[in-house]
Structure 1
Amino acid sequence: MAYIPEEKIQDIKDQLDIVNIISDYVELKPSGQNYIGLCPFHNEKTPSFTVSRNKGIFHCFGCGAGGDSITFIMKKENLNYIEAIHFLADKLGIFLDTGNVDKELYEHRKALLRINEEAKYYFFQQLLTYELPKQYLSNRGLNKSVVNKFMLGYAPDGFDNLLNYFKDKNVSTDDLLELGLIKKSASGHLYDAYRNRLIFPITNNRKEVIGFGGRTLVDDRAKYINSPESIVYHKSKNLYGVTNFNSISKKDKVVIVEGYVDVISLYNYGIDYCVASLGTALTKEQAKLISRYTKNIYLCYDGDSAGQKATERAIQIFKEIDIQANVIELPEQLDPDDYIKKYGKDSFETLITNSLNSILYNYTKLLKNYDLEDINSKSQFLDELVKLLNEIDNKLVQDEYLTRFSKDLNINVDSIKTELTKQKKFQPPSVNDVPKVNKVNSNSKFIFLESIKYYLFNSDFELRSKILDSTSFLEDETKFFIPTIVFIEENELSIDTTLKELEELKGDSNIKKILRTVLFIRNRDYYTEEENIIRFLNSLKRHVLIIERDNLKEQLILLQESEGLSEGLEKSYTELANKIFKIDSLLKSI
């Protein structure tokens, strides 16, 4: 996604009305200078969700959620910071994909999305009219509610049905061509791209229709055809089944399958936490999108050789973003659709429970590929097994699998350890082996983070333990910055440059306040003296407490401005006041 200038982000923030933004999701009622409503982030019967138009912030006194318009959209729509900016820019009529405001391009994109939305309803209406698609769906056992949920449609036979439909609405044929809804022959003749096909509308996580997939219902050479790339559709960055993201978040797991029909069929049987890639192998962008909703990944591709290759690629993709995927193995060469029809929901959920993590999956695959009774084959097997073990970064985890595999294979554990050591000697150095960087810039984030990781795990153990054990008062994200501070000082990095880099990596203004306070020591030995470590931690703790106190005071002001406090909110007021008093006492004691 293109870089958005800071001044443009500020322009967007200046134009936002937080009450209007949140009113799309919550029924707000005036209460003094503020507005109150039922919190959208937890179940409650008495309103404790407060919005201040003047301050541009919201806060829930029930669950503690709070922030500005951008924070609200990030939380409600499961978007990252930049995606939330784009989401809100769309509401304001600002197109940002070029890094600049481009009103004409923005309007063109919105026009294409309106055409796709209209096409979705056209295809849906045809599905209700023709018997062929209804019979097909009936034979597959799909409920009407599922058809409606995914807004399945039908493109009837004929070369210009859709074309004539849009001509009557004065829609540009150039726009239809750009979206791939119609095509042009070599002779210049225009015709419908989808004919005799079941239609699968593809939406993004903003519920916009960005494209279509079409499955033939007759003897067509191409079983599936899909929308081409356009300014509204990027197949490598989107998924089919994003309407399941709410279920995925609630159930904290996702099953990734190969195609549209698998997602719909599994949903039909109550497995409502599936998505599929769009006619391509899984991409890193798709993996990152999924990981925003859950880290519990289950791969369920077809049992054929193509499915196995897709599984291997997906395992590697998730490994690159530090997630270990699990693999659901389907018997009898079945695909998910066939399996759940034959054995049902309970059996499929048992497969999920019995799934293998990527290490065990690759191990069982090795066992199937080699004859351990044959000496040469067993030797090759052990070479591959050692490679598999060497891919495990965590030494404790590696030892666990080493012990397990040696018992399973009845092989002396020391023999495998010897082979592990041999292979490691010949491995080329990776970015993880780089202990320092002399310069931090926008192109070196990966090396920057890896270098911090290297320093944390290679510095003096006793000192590191003392620092980390003494920071129970900090959140996990803040703990990350303790070794970072040491690393910055050791490398004499510019504070301003570092803060700019860290702002892109974390974007937390509270963290930046803490960093500005403690980034003043230029002597590495300072951190090795216990007295100075305590001073350092006290300084850090003091500023964390000040930030917490300021946040509580802001919440208290919101409550003071609200009229007619319910009994629950009056209790919250007392609790906030007590917390502030305790923090003031702690600050005096440090």
Structure 2
Amino acid sequence: TPEELINAGVVRTGDDGVSRDLFRGRLMFPIRDPHGNLVGFGARTLDGSEPKYLNSPQGPMFDKSRILYAMDKARTDIRKDGAVIVEGYMDAIAAHQAGFKNVIAQMGTALTEFQVEEIRRLTGKITMALDQDAAGQNATLRSLDVVLQNFRTKTVNNQRTDGSTRLVDTDPRIIVMPPGQDPDEVIHKSPSTWTQLVETAIPAITFRINAITGNGDTVSPDGKARCVAEAAPFIHLLSGGILQANAIELLADNLSVPIDTVKASLSRPSVNRRSRRPEQPRSAVSTASPFVKLDHDPMEEYCLQLILSYPELREQAGGLRPEFFTRHENRELFTRWLDVASELNKDNILTQIKRNGDDEISNHLDLLLEKPMIASDANIRSSEIAKITSRLEERNLKAQKSEEVKMFTDSPPDVEDHENEHVLKINERIKNNEGLRRGQTKIISG
């Protein structure tokens, strides 16, 4: 029936009430869950239209944050040889055609905890081969953080052929791809080169530390201290041993400081406490968002609709921060908006955000722009963006406060004066936000 087609995500009904084939004129890729059940489709354009790639809509059957493409084909080989993660369908298909059966593809801009957990149940060895351009680097770092937090802090049970399990060491690594090439191109050109890239992948912690020091200030004392503080959570995840010693040595070398100095900084109570209990990372969504059970966040989406549709609101939206957005697709879209030059007009801004139009964020942007907005004038829009910025900030602050209070409860002897001061400042900012909103309400109603 038409209703079943819509629910299955292969037909979409437009504002005019007409139902259309969502994947018309596209090459379709069936997407299956780990057990081989069909749950959705990916589709690539054949005529150059945008977006280049399109997935089934998010729904009860298809949740891209929990699916890894080709996992149904790769499970057995992943148990034997570890998992290699690539960016897209074509990369995974090329790998399997060439005989590399342990390759799977992620379904979004960054790996999620659900996807990493699926891999962790099969193997302790995960190798990531993702885009190395600027945007790809950012997505790789976000994926890497999830991998480090989940792999290094949990026991991996690898099932033997007789059904028993054995403990295995975790070994997350990063493949440094040749500039301008993706796995699909490398595999088609030279399968032996791909094999060498996988075998020479560098440890994930090495990649992460190099990224921190490469993007940070490694000259001034304050800059070096910030690099140590940023690297500390990942180093503490290693829980001692040779890997941790090597990571500390690498950090010290990159910063040109004695190893003992780095060790002393890492041993400070405040650094230790913030690195503690990584198996329970901060979750602003579960703490602060009333939309956690939905597959979207209406408040975040309304905010994005405003700033994307009305470029003149950029100055009024100056208080927005990426961390205010709890859903990864909204945070990534906002980050792209921030990176675009402020003097561009709406069409040029949207073009730059879409980049090549071949990723999930571009698709998410299209969906947001298709949603209707209530007509309003410039004054109302300015008021709306101010209110929603305040609400998003307050939500973020309350999440921080909840985490800080819990941290102090767990380890009160280590609390330092300036950290207690931090909580007081959060309380003050929450009160200020509430006062600002009350003032805005009076202005509107008056």
TM-score between both structures, scaled by the size of structure 1 = 0.40
Aligned ranges 1:496-507 → 2 under 5 Å = none
Partner of 1:417: 263
Partner of 1:345: 191
Helix, strand or coil at the partner of 1:368: helix
Ranges in structure 2 where 5+ consecutive residues have no aligned partner: 153-170, 281-446
Aligned-pair distance for 1:428? Answer: 4.8
Indicate conservation of the 8 Å contact 1:252/1:295, yes or no. no
1-side partners of 2:40 and 2:87: how far apart? 17
2-side partners of 1:200 and 1:433: how far apart? 35
Task: Give CA deviations for 1:67-113 in whole Å, capped at 9, x if unaligned.
Answer: xxxxxxxxxxxxxxxxxxxxxxxxxxxxxxxxxxxxxxxxxxxxxxx
Partner of 1:194: 23
Task: Give CA deviations for 1:159-190 in whole Å, capped at 9, x if unaligned.
Answer: xxxxxxxxxxxxx1110111121222322222
1-side partners of 2:178 and 2:265: how far apart? 34
Q: Tell me which amino acid in the other structure corresponds to 1:416.
A: V
2-side partners of 1:334 and 1:242: how far apart? 24
Indicate conservation of the 8 Å contact 2:127/2:173, yes or no. yes
Aligned-pair distance for 1:352? Answer: 1.3
Indicate conservation of the 8 Å contact 1:315/1:358, yes or no. yes
Task: Give CA deviations for 1:485-507 in whole Å, capped at 9, x if unaligned.
Answer: xxxxxxxxxxxxxxxxxxxxxxx
2:139 corresponds, among 298, 310, 313, to 310
Go from structure 1 to structure 2 and tell me whether the alpha carbon gap of 1:408 and 1:221 turns closer, same or farther (over 3 Å shift).
Answer: closer
Helix, strand or coil at the partner of 1:332: coil
1-side partners of 2:241 and 2:135: how far apart? 34
Go from structure 1 to structure 2 and tell me whether the alpha carbon gap of 1:293 and 1:174 turns closer, same or farther (over 3 Å shift).
Answer: same
Task: Give CA deviations for 1:327-361 in whole Å, capped at 9, x if unaligned.
Answer: 1111213221223234x111111111111112111
- Greater Cα shift, 407-416 or 231-240: 407-416
Partner of 1:72: none
Partner of 2:103: 274
Go from structure 1 to structure 2 and tell me whether the alpha carbon gap of 1:332 and 1:187 turns closer, same or farther (over 3 Å shift).
Answer: same
Aligned-pair distance for 1:203? Answer: 0.9
Q: Which has the higher contact order (CA 8 A, sep 6+)?
A: 2
Helix, strand or coil at the partner of 2:267: helix
Go from structure 1 to structure 2 and tell me whether the alpha carbon gap of 1:346 and 1:416 turns closer, same or farther (over 3 Å shift).
Answer: same
1:329 corresponds, among 143, 162, 176, to 176
Aligned-pair distance for 1:246? Answer: 3.6
Indicate conservation of the 8 Å contact 1:255/1:297, yes or no. yes
Go from structure 1 to structure 2 and tell me whether the alpha carbon gap of 1:433 and 1:184 turns closer, same or farther (over 3 Å shift).
Answer: closer
Go from structure 1 to structure 2 and tell me whether the alpha carbon gap of 1:277 and 1:433 turns closer, same or farther (over 3 Å shift).
Answer: closer
Go from structure 1 to structure 2 and tell me whether the alpha carbon gap of 1:182 and 1:296 turns closer, same or farther (over 3 Å shift).
Answer: same
Helix, strand or coil at the partner of 2:41: strand
2:37 corresponds, among 188, 208, 221, to 208
Partner of 1:395: 240
Indicate conservation of the 8 Å contact 2:216/2:227, yes or no. no
Aligned ranges 1:127-142 → 2 under 5 Å = none
Q: Tell me which amino acid in the other structure corresponds to 1:352.
A: V
Aligned ranges 1:387-466 → 2 under 5 Å = 387-389=230-232, 391=234, 392-393=236-237, 394-397=239-242, 398-403=244-249, 405-406=251-252, 411-422=257-268, 424=270, 427-428=273-274, 430-431=276-277
1:251 corresponds, among 72, 80, 89, to 80
Partner of 1:369: 215
Helix, strand or coil at the partner of 2:196: helix
- Greater Cα shift, 404-413 or 292-301: 404-413
Indicate conservation of the 8 Å contact 2:228/2:265, yes or no. no
Aligned-pair distance for 1:390? Answer: 5.0
Helix, strand or coil at the partner of 1:194: coil
Q: Tell me which amino acid in the other structure corresponds to 1:350.
A: Q
2-side partners of 1:219 and 1:346: how far apart? 32
Indicate conservation of the 8 Å contact 2:64/2:107, yes or no. yes
TM-score between both structures, scaled by the size of structure 2 = 0.52
Partner of 1:223: 52
Helix, strand or coil at the partner of 2:179: helix
Indicate conservation of the 8 Å contact 2:217/2:227, yes or no. no
Aligned-pair distance for 1:312? Answer: 1.5
Q: Indicate the percent of aligned positions where both proteins have the same amino acid.
A: 27
Aligned-pair distance for 1:379? Answer: 5.5
Indicate conservation of the 8 Å contact 2:84/2:103, yes or no. yes
Aligned-pair distance for 1:386? Answer: 5.2
Indicate conservation of the 8 Å contact 1:282/1:314, yes or no. yes
2-side partners of 1:243 and 1:284: how far apart? 19
Helix, strand or coil at the partner of 2:151: coil
Go from structure 1 to structure 2 and tell me whether the alpha carbon gap of 1:366 and 1:248 turns closer, same or farther (over 3 Å shift).
Answer: same
2-side partners of 1:429 and 1:388: how far apart? 10
Aligned ranges 1:30-109 → 2 under 5 Å = none
Go from structure 1 to structure 2 and tell me whether the alpha carbon gap of 1:184 and 1:348 turns closer, same or farther (over 3 Å shift).
Answer: same
2-side partners of 1:271 and 1:433: how far apart? 32
Task: Give CA deviations for 1:538-587 in whole Å, capped at 9, x if unaligned.
Answer: xxxxxxxxxxxxxxxxxxxxxxxxxxxxxxxxxxxxxxxxxxxxxxxxxx
2-side partners of 1:253 and 1:386: how far apart? 31
2-side partners of 1:355 and 1:385: how far apart? 24
Indicate conservation of the 8 Å contact 2:228/2:266, yes or no. no
Task: Give CA deviations for 1:458-515 in whole Å, capped at 9, x if unaligned.
Answer: xxxxxxxxxxxxxxxxxxxxxxxxxxxxxxxxxxxxxxxxxxxxxxxxxxxxxxxxxx
Aligned ranges 1:22-37 → 2 under 5 Å = none
User: What is the Cα-based RMSD across aligned positions, in Å?
Assistant: 2.9
Go from structure 1 to structure 2 and tell me whether the alpha carbon gap of 1:410 and 1:428 turns closer, same or farther (over 3 Å shift).
Answer: closer
Helix, strand or coil at the partner of 2:54: strand
Structure with larger Rg: 1
Indicate conservation of the 8 Å contact 2:66/2:114, yes or no. yes
Q: Tell me which amino acid in the other structure corresponds to 1:206.
A: H
2:12 corresponds, among 138, 161, 183, to 183
Residue 260 in 1 paired to residue 106 in 2?
no
Aligned-pair distance for 1:422? Answer: 4.2
Q: Tell me which amino acid in the other structure corresponds to 1:383.
A: R
Q: Tell me which amino acid in the other structure corresponds to 2:266.
A: L
1-side partners of 2:251 and 2:68: how far apart? 37
- Greater Cα shift, 230-239 or 350-359: 230-239
Aligned-pair distance for 1:300? Answer: 0.9
Go from structure 1 to structure 2 and tell me whether the alpha carbon gap of 1:262 and 1:423 turns closer, same or farther (over 3 Å shift).
Answer: farther
Indicate conservation of the 8 Å contact 1:263/1:275, yes or no. yes
Partner of 2:354: none
Q: Tell me which amino acid in the other structure corresponds to 2:5.
A: L
1-side partners of 2:45 and 2:107: how far apart? 17
Ranges in structure 1 where 5+ consecutive residues have no aligned partner: 1-171, 435-590
Aligned-pair distance for 1:425? Answer: 5.7
Indicate conservation of the 8 Å contact 1:252/1:293, yes or no. no
Aligned-pair distance for 1:207? Answer: 1.5
Residue 384 in 1 paired to residue 227 in 2?
yes
Indicate conservation of the 8 Å contact 1:199/1:212, yes or no. yes
2-side partners of 1:358 and 1:244: how far apart? 26
